Chains A and B, each alone.
Chain A
């Protein structure tokens, strides 16, 4: 079973990398980009076959390692 974790900065946390990407898009002539937020995707291959259990397991991984919940939100997708 595969899982995909999206880690993003919480709202309200300044994202200097997102701001730099937005600036660069503007410099390339892409207009109308109001905001850019940068995050990461982590893909996991799990031996677990039960979807609910897998989701539980991955959420636990997010809390313990994959995200820093002081500044980051995460969402888990079971594929």
Chain B
């Protein structure tokens, strides 16, 4: 698996994400970190990771400036050709701002920054990101965000539910997200956006290894593809 992880000013957990990809594919230092000013992704990339953080200081709207950066034009092109993309936390915000995923992430309904480990329920196994799970599996990942309150109009929500595109829901909703949505898939199921951080929970030293399942799912899907 050849992964590229995009770095914006203010990104965090970008290296954690790269380590997640590398461990799952059993190949150290293979994931490439790509600076946002680059206009092209490295050749023969299997998956692009957009990390968490507070790109460009969350100026204007979370993810808005990052979504218009030079590298994102390549990422959008890559996704439109059927490439796999995962956006975590700020990465999810970047994906909605760039139009690769529908809806929007608003300020948490209680206006508080939420930073804790939370339980998520796996809602679909039909994706490269969740195929190692069973439906209803509960995993614990950290969340750390101020704007994770997912909102979309009724038509989008109908499509997300009807087409089995909700990947994860919160067991106890921390931010007011509609229908407890924590992560969604694109219509071709190859783009995942999620607020919780699996890459911060993939080593015993970090408090748990639940996050490995996501990276292992990706590795097995992309190796067999």
**A51 contacts partner chain B, Cβ-Cβ < 8 Å:** no
Question: Could you tell me if B64 and A68 are in contact, using CB atoms closer than 8 angstroms?
Answer: yes
Closest to A71 in B: B104
Hey, which chain B residues are within 8 Å of A68, CB to CB? 61, 64, 97, 104
Q: State the CA gap A29–B61 with chains docked (Å).
A: 32
Q: State the CA gap A72–B111 with chains docked (Å).
A: 19
Mark interface residues in B131-168 (1 if CB within 8 Å of A CB, else 0): 00000000000000000010111000000000000000
Q: Which residue in A13, A66, A70 is a CB contact (below 8 Å) of B60?
A: A66
Closest to B67 in A: A65
A-B contact count (CB 8 A): 33
- B:94-149 near A, CB below 8 Å: 96-97, 103-104, 106-111, 149
User: Main SS of the interface on chain B?
Assistant: loop
Hey, which chain B residues are within 8 Å of A14, CB to CB? 106, 109, 151
Question: Could you tell me if B64 and A16 are in contact, using CB atoms closer than 8 angstroms?
Answer: no
Question: Could you tell me if A17 and B151 are in contact, using CB atoms closer than 8 angstroms?
Answer: no
Hey, which chain A residues are within 8 Å of B96, CB to CB? 70
- Nearest chain B CB to A5 CB, angstrom units: 11
Number of interface residues, chain B, beta carbon within 8 A: 19
Q: State the CA gap A13–B151 with chains docked (Å).
A: 9
Number of interface residues, chain A, beta carbon within 8 A: 11
- Nearest chain A CB to B11 CB, angstrom units: 20
- A:42-77 near B, CB below 8 Å: 64-66, 68, 70-71
Question: Could you tell me if A16 and B103 are in contact, using CB atoms closer than 8 angstroms?
Answer: no
- Nearest chain B CB to A31 CB, angstrom units: 23
Question: Could you tell me if A71 and B111 are in contact, using CB atoms closer than 8 angstroms?
Answer: no
**A41 contacts partner chain B, Cβ-Cβ < 8 Å:** no
**A20 contacts partner chain B, Cβ-Cβ < 8 Å:** yes
Q: State the CA gap A14–B176 with chains docked (Å).
A: 11
Q: State the CA gap A24–B42 with chains docked (Å).
A: 51
**B68 contacts partner chain A, Cβ-Cβ < 8 Å:** yes
Question: Could you tell me if B68 and A65 are in contact, using CB atoms closer than 8 angstroms?
Answer: yes
Hey, which chain B residues are within 8 Å of A16, CB to CB? 106-111, 149, 176
Hey, which chain A residues are within 8 Å of B153, CB to CB? 70
Hey, which chain B residues are within 8 Å of A70, CB to CB? 96, 103-104, 152-153
Q: State the CA gap A3–B149 with chains docked (Å).
A: 32
Hey, which chain A residues are within 8 Å of B103, CB to CB? 70
Q: State the CA gap A50–B104 with chains docked (Å).
A: 35
Q: State the CA gap A11–B68 with chains docked (Å).
A: 27
- A:1-49 near B, CB below 8 Å: 13-14, 16-17, 20
Listed A/B pairs (7) with beta-carbon separation below 8 Å: A14-B109, A16-B107, A16-B108, A17-B111, A65-B68, A68-B61, A68-B97
Among all A-B residue pairs, the 9 with the closest Cβ atoms: A70-B104, A71-B104, A16-B109, A16-B107, A16-B111, A20-B111, A68-B61, A68-B104, A65-B68
